[in-house]
Amino acid sequence: MVKLPEWRGKEVFRTYGVPLPKGRVVRSPEEAAAAVGPGGIPLPCVLKAQVLAGGRGKGGAVRFASTPTEALEAARAILGLEFKGEKVKELLVEEKLAISQELYVSLTLDRSLRLPVLMASARGGVEIESVEDHEIARVPVHPFAGLTSYEKRAAAKSLGLTGPKARSLDLLLDRLWEIFQKEDAELVEINPLAVVGEGLVALDAKVIIEDDASFRHPQYAEVRDDRTPLEEIAREKDIAFVQLDGNIGVIANGAGLTMATLDVLQQFGGRPGVFLDLGGTDDPKKVTEAFLLMARARPAAVFLNIFGGVTRCDTVATGLVEAMKEVPASERFPLVARIRGNNETEGIAILQKAGVTSLRDLRESVQAAVAAAAGRSAGGMGGPA
Ligand code: GDP
Ligand code: MN
């Protein structure tokens, strides 16, 4: 998935003529201060962290400033953030517009209709997932006919726009459709689309380019995708590792057991923060690497659920004990293990000797992991929301 950062999405918007606030990307507080004021970005201004995760507004990653000094301080605060696991390296500094309303519009693919769909809601500025279904208009678009005045009128009506504002919307939606088609996007979203005077301005930009079409768009080759930094490392090491938004790490073997383990954990009130699928490996080197990666995700506790079929439980246990020794003291976490199957008695003995809570019963072991995590922290692990 090629998900463009906001500033990059806005570059695309600019190319196609979607109205935008005046803005510039900066990488240091000094640069932010120098960018604003006479001759530059007009004050007051908005400073926005360029991270892929949403919810920046609520998360302190969007700030306002009225003077260069305030811009400096705001930039300093945001550049120091680690937002949902991603270090903030770039800011978008934009003029702060006087907005009278925040709307939502997007074009995406509806997989059940097998058609592009235009979505519009008068409840912009909040994440669309939190908006009630009946407050979102969904208008299917014929891929060959494109957006006709019919769909655009339907959108204007649901947004409550008339007169010049409806005409602005009409023009804007044409641009959006053009982007959607020519750039092979699977999502083009503006949230919020702000009403400024009688016009409309895109305050945010979310553009996702269809993976299978990326060969047609070498200009996006540089864009990072949706993986977190740890997921990126895992990919290079060929480890199946996915970050979620909870605080408990899950290590299991096989996709089926891993998914089932996440479900059971959830059922007992635990929130999975990352899962790691060891697959068929009991190669001690691989296990150690996987374990170190898990440690870096800072889980409040880790639940290990291994079934020894071909792999032997005692081999896995030995590998684990070795791996645990490699974890730096500052990154240690409580571990609850359940290993069943081939040579399980030996495996459990090895783990217990190393001080790892090792239980046979699924329910008991899951509850122990949830309790261990609750004792440690209430926060998340910094995965994507
Ligand atoms: P997100 O929360 O990560 O989606 O970040 P957004 O780009 O959507 O910005 C969050 C919120 O900041 C918006 O919903 C607006 O309320 C506010 N905001 C952003 N730019 C401006 C601006 O130019 N003027 C005003 N008044 N508010 C802005
Ligand atoms: Mn937004």
The whole-number mean pLDDT for each consecutive block of 10 residues of the chain, a chain of 385 residues, reads 91 98 97 96 97 87 97 95 87 97 97 95 91 95 95 97 97 98 97 97 96 87 74 85 91 92 96 88 80 90 91 87 88 92 93 92 95 72 45
Tell me the three state secondary structure of residue 1: coil
| Cβ-contact 251, 239 below 8 angstroms | no
**Residue 215, burial from CB neighbour count under 10 angstroms (0-12, 13-18, 19+):** exposed
Which residue puts its alpha carbon closest to atom 21 of ligand 1?
A: 96
Pairing assessment for the beta strands 101-110 and 115-121 based on DSSP bridges: antiparallel
| Cβ-contact 94, 45 below 8 angstroms | yes
pLDDT of residue 192: 97
Atom of ligand 1 nearest to the CA of 206: 4
pLDDT of residue 385: 38
pLDDT of residue 229: 83
> Relative to the alpha carbon of 10, which ligand is closest?
1
Tell me the CA distances in angstroms from 78 to 17, 56, 334, 335, one per residue in order: 29, 10, 32, 34
Pairing assessment for the beta strands 272-277 and 248-252 based on DSSP bridges: parallel
Residue of 62, 83, 200 to mutate, ligand 1, most atoms within 8 A of C-beta: 62
pTM of the entire structure? 0.67
Ligand 1, CB cutoff 6 Å, lining residues: 21, 46, 48, 54-57, 62, 94, 96-97, 99, 102, 125, 191-192, 203-204
10-32 burial, b for 16+ CB within 10 Å, e for fewer? bbbbeebebbbbebbbbeebebb
| 222 counts as catalytic | no
> Relative to the alpha carbon of 21, which ligand is closest?
1
Whole-angstrom distance, CA of residue 89 vs CA of residue 134: 38
Hey, how many other C-beta atoms are within 10 angstroms of the C-beta on 105?
25
* Residue 20 CA to ligand 2 centre (angstroms): 14
| 210 counts as catalytic | no
46-60 burial, b for 16+ CB within 10 Å, e for fewer? bbbbbbbbbebbeee
- DSSP 8-class letter at 304: E
Distance of CA 19 to the CA centre of its chain: 26
pLDDT of residue 233: 87
Atom of ligand 1 nearest to the CA of 102: 14
